[in-house]
């Protein structure tokens, strides 16, 4: 059975050596000193390793069972959820007035990585609740906030997000679920929603569904969509639970992975719902939470890659197979460990350099969320809005690929469920799809974010890269191994942007045909920037002679690997982008 | 539920327009005119679509069940197997004297693609039998051939290959299974083998296990391994079945996919075995079949990509979601079909250009097997031996990635088992692992095949590329779209080979650290060559005005996509290779 240890040392390095969080003037950041963040992360890591990780395979094997409208979660999930709640983990970044701890979002992300890595299906129950609570926090009336948020912060009540219908996922304008206004100001919601994670289960007293629906007579398409609060049990004025509402689970989907989470078909049959935010502004309400939600999914991609890597690494050190080509390294044993073989190392270093670079990217993105939400920093808001589709799309694509590579280290044992490596792959696969499939992320990036506010956010990104290079090019070692490759990759990114500008006006397809490559090209440049920053931070630390010098040296070596071996992908993506739309659009649909 | 239609038109194009099989002087090829191959492939395709494909999901859902030592295959498998046997499909390339049809291996491969695409788990029962029969054919005594081959050709008896043990997969020198000589010339085989596909089931009267084991007192390691025939039921002199042998299934593995195939832990408890081939030459006996077996696995990667692509394409044409950015293409409908979107097309064209290029590569490889085995052509033998790890490793890696991309076209529905797309991904995953994990293929390519016979096979490959370019560079359209990119990619391959030569002598790790990239670089050049040849064949066909001009034009457009969008990956692989071993080997194992 696989195991998991939270990478707290690495998180500590990123938070303090790279992002220097406690030196930032973002509200709440002054509290984030090393002692505090370490204490939080160690504790979260312990819960993840000892409570959540052992249930990961259980959840996969047992899945969720629907019987007579009731969903039974896997053995142990309920007890574990009680422990999570008791520890106050469910509301660490939510406001204190509703029972939360008001920590910055960056801590929510770091803690979230540990529980998601340990047990993604389990963590989704609280993740969805967090998303729904955030929506109520942003758009709810005082009464709605007071009614729902205290219970959702503690996860006594959980939440769900209901967007997709059988005939529409990405294109929500096609939605059919109706919300008919009632005299008392409430609505009767009727329709079917699918793919509703945590839609029904036995771990909470109530479930607060957020449901997108159309009020008859409203505008056509996406502009006529409103958001509603639909509780599973009605809530009485005194906060006690009343009658069962007309919301029920019709089916649990059989999925490739995340079996421990109940993915429900939800049927709404004249269910009582309450408008959340304004009429017909449902999509806008959803969008305000979109960045956070998407960063959260990017985190899942990274988290599955991390846990898969940890186990692949252990296996590569333990499993004896073949001999090093340069001479036996374990002469007393029957064979050398797998890790002596160059191609196994290539595989492991792909994983290691991705998860460490991706973690920095994720935490940097989360820091910008805090700068935006807590600090009112519009530049940060613009930049994180630009980078969000990359965090989501690139980290989940690469994260998935890394779980596949981790599985490969095990040979045949990677294909057998007994070893647990297949589950990481199967669980990671969903992150490329939900919260906007990665093709949609690429479209959002190229079709929307790139030109937003006159393109000033992408300019800000380039400025950041340039000034980091300029400030540090006196450092010879950093320049050769990190800054020069970053400069080169950044040129590719600029050239791609230029190509879109020059060709996208005449023919939007010329840009869109390159959108997926652009997302990956941009992702590599972001990780290149992260590695350059981490390289510098590690070199500084080595020079200072303080701390774990071996750790910092490993960090530098891992970064060099990324810059040499992974970053050169930018050139290929640029070539593909510059090939334009011709070969992509040429064929008629019938000719395929 | 997904469907499958055999790509017979594409096979016809490759066999006749590109490879021109009936004009070749390889024994048996003169019979392969269009009418004959079409008749065979149409019939095979019908069986695949109508009989095997509908059982694919059944096999996945039910899996195989072990009860009291007996394995029950999924509902319908037994009947389908009877139909396959009745049609004579199981021995189409085996010798007539044992009941086969003696067709060239290229036809076995083409037919195999259809059944593997329709139902990989099912097809493995006959595939393993074919492998075992080939071993007996190559190394068996007359008596052994007469005893086993007629029943195995017809699949009345099926076969298995027993190599892996719990502690050794790739490194078979660590093997513990013992074969103790008996006075009557037979051996008593004892030990445990794992991952034995089709190890025990209810579809055949007898199962002929080929088992690798060590005769006590023989040479250490891999040089002391011998191959044995171990029947499930003893065979009497008159051919009737006798007592049950000491071979039994201890467990069926739970796997990520191919649930319809029984992957067994096989326990041999003083089972009677008969030496196949020479003592201590077991590995050599295995290796003579290795090329065919590995090409067969490459075929599986391609086959899963093909069926996944077919279904993704249908979905992209049917599913209405969003609007084309250049204006509505389905103005009367609520939305446009997915296929109008550039990124969906990019995704589909990645798949289409891979499966068509991969199919040509596979059939070319199979043709060389025929030239070698039937025609005694040593040059062909050398070249196919060089290319085999690429066919296996590249086609299964890319094939898997394409199933993931196909799944992505479905959005959330791709993650739900109901739509069947997840199964293609899960089934395709094993092909990257078994018959030598792909890292081992890369090692075989760079560490062994590249320098084989003084490097003359790789020189032959380059000559082939060069002379094709030279012969055709008068064709302007072909030159610009196909030959120039091929030349460029081929230069990258040569540069990589040069890097290995210059650096690998001093430091073998410098070559091995680039082995995986080299396999992919080489794979792309092979597909580039295939596309250049197909481009030319299609242009010739268009010019002749005969046949389906629209088909040929689509072929040219698809080829242009590959050359523009996929082939440029060669440059990235070269950059990685040229970064050498430093970043890969630098870290101590403990530092990871």
- What is the DSSP code (8-state) at residue B312? H
B141 min Cα distance to partner chain A (Å): 33
Contacts of B506 (CB under 8 A, 6+ apart): none
Task: Give φ, ψ of B155 to 5 degrees.
Answer: 65, 20
CB atoms within 10 A of CB A45: 23
Shared-domain flag, residues A292 and A314: yes
- Structure tokens, A232: 């599973």
Nearest-angstrom CA–CA distance, A582 and B346 = 11
B246 in a structural domain: no
- Structure tokens, B82: 């009877």
Nearest CA in chain B to A442: B343
Element (H, E) at B492: helix B484-504
Which entry of A113, A435, A471, A590 is annotated as an active-site residue? A435
Q: Are A264 and A200 in contact (CB under 8 A)?
A: yes
Q: Are B496 and B520 in contact (CB under 8 A)?
A: no
Shared-domain flag, residues B439 and B302: yes
Shared-domain flag, residues B412 and B312: yes
Closest CA to A59 of A77, A45, A78, A47: A77
Closest CA to B485 of B530, B547, B445: B530
Contacting residues of A for B60, CB less than 8 Å apart:
none
Q: What angle do CA B520, B523, B527 make, to 5 degrees?
A: 140
Nearest-angstrom CA–CA distance, A254 and A443 = 29
Closest CA to A58 of A287, A260, A303: A260
Closest CA to B347 of B322, B391, B316, B384: B316
Nearest CA in chain A to B334: A174
Shared-domain flag, residues B436 and B502: no
- Does the beta-carbon distance from B425 to A256 stay under 8 Å? yes
Nearest-angstrom CA–CA distance, B404 and B398 = 10
The reported pLDDT for the residue numbered A288 is 75
Q: Are B290 and B421 in contact (CB under 8 A)?
A: no
Nearest-angstrom CA–CA distance, A396 and A437 = 10
The reported pLDDT for the residue numbered A291 is 83
Nearest-angstrom CA–CA distance, A545 and B440 = 42
Q: Show which residues of B are catalytic.
A: 435
Shared-domain flag, residues B485 and B399: no
**Count of alpha carbons within 13 Å of A378, Cβ hemisphere only?**
3
3-state secondary structure A201-243: CCCCCEEEEEEEEECCCCCCHHHHEEEEEEECEEECCCCCEEE
Nearest-angstrom CA–CA distance, A360 and A538 = 13
- Structure tokens, A95: 């406001």
Nearest-angstrom CA–CA distance, B143 and B275 = 12
A295 in a structural domain: yes
Where a domain ends, among B427, B446, B465?
Answer: B446
Q: B 482-521 residues with CB below 8 A of A?
A: 507-509, 512-513, 515-516
List, in sequence order, every residue forming a beta bridge with A65; answer none if it has no partner: A72
A472: exposed, middle or buried (Cβ count in 10 Å: 0-12, 13-18, 19+): middle
Nearest-angstrom CA–CA distance, B591 and B61 = 43
Nearest-angstrom CA–CA distance, A400 and A411 = 17
A103 in a structural domain: no
Nearest-angstrom CA–CA distance, A463 and A382 = 14
Contacting residues of A for B516, CB less than 8 Å apart:
343, 346-347
CA distances for A366 relative to A138, A363, B219, angstroms: 18, 5, 61
- What is the DSSP code (8-state) at residue A350? H
- Structure tokens, B580: 């050498």
Q: What is the CATH number of the domain that holds A311?
A: 1.20.140.10
Shared-domain flag, residues A491 and A438: no
Task: Give φ, ψ of A98 to 5 degrees.
Answer: -105, 15
Closest CA to A209 of A228, A226, A222: A228
A588: exposed, middle or buried (Cβ count in 10 Å: 0-12, 13-18, 19+): exposed
- Does the beta-carbon distance from B584 to A416 stay under 8 Å? no
Shared-domain flag, residues B425 and B358: yes
Three-state SS at B275: strand
| Structural domain that includes position A494 | 454-584
- Structure tokens, A539: 């070199």
Chosen for mutation from B439, B446, B482, B579 (greatest number of chain A CBs closer than 10 Å) is B439
The ipTM, to two decimals, is 0.97
A4 min Cα distance to partner chain B (Å): 15
- Give me the total of CB pairs closer than 8 Å, taking one residue from chain A and one from chain B: 263
- Does the beta-carbon distance from A408 to B576 stay under 8 Å? no
Contacting residues of A for B164, CB less than 8 Å apart:
412
Question: Total structural domains in chain B?
Answer: 2
What DSSP line would sit under A70-112, residue for residue?
A: EEEPPTTHHHHHHHHHHTTGGGTTS-GGGT-----HHHHHHHH
Shared-domain flag, residues B472 and B501: yes
Shared-domain flag, residues B354 and B474: no
A498 in a structural domain: yes
Instruction: Supply the angle between the helices B378-409 and B515-544 in degrees, to the nearest 10.
Output: 90
Element (H, E) at B441: helix B438-444
Nearest-angstrom CA–CA distance, A313 and B472 = 50
A169 in a structural domain: no
Where a domain ends, among A396, A428, A446?
Answer: A446
- Does the beta-carbon distance from A513 to B345 stay under 8 Å? yes
Shared-domain flag, residues A386 and A529: no
B542 in a structural domain: yes
Nearest-angstrom CA–CA distance, A329 and A344 = 15
Q: B 325-384 residues with CB below 8 A of A?
A: 325-326, 334-335, 337, 339-349, 352
Closest CA to A232 of A261, A194, A203: A203
Chosen for mutation from A342, A409, A559 (greatest number of chain B CBs closer than 10 Å) is A342
Q: Are B121 and B52 in contact (CB under 8 A)?
A: no
The reported pLDDT for the residue numbered B289 is 78
A568 touches chain B (CB under 8 A): yes
Q: Are B321 and A170 in contact (CB under 8 A)?
A: yes
Three-state SS at B555: helix
* Residue ranges, chain B, pLDDT below 50: none
Shared-domain flag, residues B474 and B331: no
3-state helix, strand, coil split of chain A in percent (to 5) is 60, 15, 25
Helices (H), A29-89: 34-47, 56-62, 77-86
* Residue ranges, chain A, pLDDT below 50: none
B267: exposed, middle or buried (Cβ count in 10 Å: 0-12, 13-18, 19+): middle
Place of tokens 């000034």: A467
List, in sequence order, every residue forming a beta bridge with B206; answer none if it has no partner: B157
Q: Are B245 and B187 in contact (CB under 8 A)?
A: no
Contacting residues of A for B326, CB less than 8 Å apart:
507-509
Q: Are A460 and A383 in contact (CB under 8 A)?
A: yes
A55 in a structural domain: no
Nearest-angstrom CA–CA distance, B418 and B421 = 8
Where a domain ends, among A446, A465, A490?
Answer: A446
Shared-domain flag, residues A392 and A319: yes
Helices (H), B48-172: 56-62, 77-86, 105-118, 120-139, 142-153
B528 in a structural domain: yes
Closest CA to A53 of A110, A123, A158: A123
A291-325: pLDDT as tens digits: 889 999 999 999 999 999 999 999 999 999 999 99
Nearest CA in chain B to A518: B343
């Amino acid at each position: 059975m696989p195991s998991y240890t939270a990478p707290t040392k690495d998180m500590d390095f990123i938070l303090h050596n790279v992002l220097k969080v406690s030196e930032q003037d973002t509200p709440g950041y002054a509290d984030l000193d090393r002692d505090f963040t370490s204490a939080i992360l160690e504790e979260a890591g312990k819960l993840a390793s000892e409570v959540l990780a052992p249930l990961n395979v259980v959840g996969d094997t047992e899945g969720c069972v629907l019987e007579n409208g009731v969903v039974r979660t896997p053995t142990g999930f309920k007890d574990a959820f009680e422990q999570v709640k008791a520890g106050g983990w469910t509301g660490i970044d939510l406001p204190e007035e509703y029972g939360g701890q008001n920590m910055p979002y960056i801590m929510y992300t770091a803690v979230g990585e540990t529980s998601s890595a340990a047990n993604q299906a389990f963590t989704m129950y609280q993740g969805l609740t967090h998303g729904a609570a955030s929506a109520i926090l942003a758009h709810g009336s005082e009464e709605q906030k007071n009614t729902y948020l205290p219970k959702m912060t503690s996860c006594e009540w959980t939440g769900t997000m209901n967007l997709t219908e059988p005939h529409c996922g990405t294109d929500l304008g096609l939605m059919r679920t109706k919300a008919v206004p009632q005299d008392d100001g409430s609505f009767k919601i009727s329709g079917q929603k699918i793919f509703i994670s945590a839609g029904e289960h036995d771990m909470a007293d109530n479930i607060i569904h957020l449901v997108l629906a159309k009020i008859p007579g409203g505008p056509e398409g996406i502009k006529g969509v409103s958001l509603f609060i639909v509780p599973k049990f009605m809530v009485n004025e005194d906060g006690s639970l009343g009658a069962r509402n007309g919301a029920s689970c019709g089916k649990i989907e059989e999925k490739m992975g995340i079996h421990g989470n109940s993915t429900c078909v939800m049927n709404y049959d004249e269910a009582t719902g309450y408008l959340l935010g304004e009429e017909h502004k449902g999509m806008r309400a959803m969008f305000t939470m979109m960045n956070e939600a998407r960063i959260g999914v990017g985190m899942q991609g990274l988290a599955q890659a991390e846990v898969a890597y940890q186990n692949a690494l252990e296996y590569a050190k333990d499993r004896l197979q073949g001999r090093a080509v340069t001479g036996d390294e374990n002469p007393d044993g029957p064979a050398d460990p797998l890790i002596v073989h160059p191609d196994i190392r290539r595989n492991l270093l792909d994983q290691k350099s991705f998860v460490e670079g991706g973690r920095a990217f994720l935490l940097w993105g989360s820091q910008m969320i805090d700068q935006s939400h807590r600090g009112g920093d519009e530049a940060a808001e613009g930049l994180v809005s630009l980078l969000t589709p990359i965090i989501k799309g690139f980290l989940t694509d690469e994260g998935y690929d890394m779980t596949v590579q981790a599985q490969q280290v095990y040979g045949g044992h990677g294909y057998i469920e007994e070893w647990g490596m297949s589950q990481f792959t199967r669980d990671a696969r969903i992150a490329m799809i939900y919260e906007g499939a990665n093709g949609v992320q690429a479209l959002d990036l190229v079709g929307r974010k790139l030109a937003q506010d006159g393109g000033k956010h992408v300019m800000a990104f380039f400025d950041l890269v340039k000034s980091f290079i300029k400030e540090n090019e006196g450092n010879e070692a950093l320049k050769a191994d990190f800054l020069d490759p970053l400069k080169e990759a950044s040129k590719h990114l600029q050239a791609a942007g230029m190509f879109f500008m020059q060709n996208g006006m005449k023919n939007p397809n010329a840009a869109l045909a390159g959108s997926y490559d652009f997302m990956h090209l941009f992702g590599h440049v972001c990780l290149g920037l992260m590695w350059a920053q981490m390289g510098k931070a590690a070199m500084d630390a080595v020079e200072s002679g303080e701390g774990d010098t071996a750790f910092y040296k490993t960090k530098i070596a891992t970064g060099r690997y990324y810059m040499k071996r992974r970053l050169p992908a930018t050139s290929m993506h640029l070539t593909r982008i510059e090939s334009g739309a011709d070969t992509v659009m040429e064929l008629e649909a019938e000719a395929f």
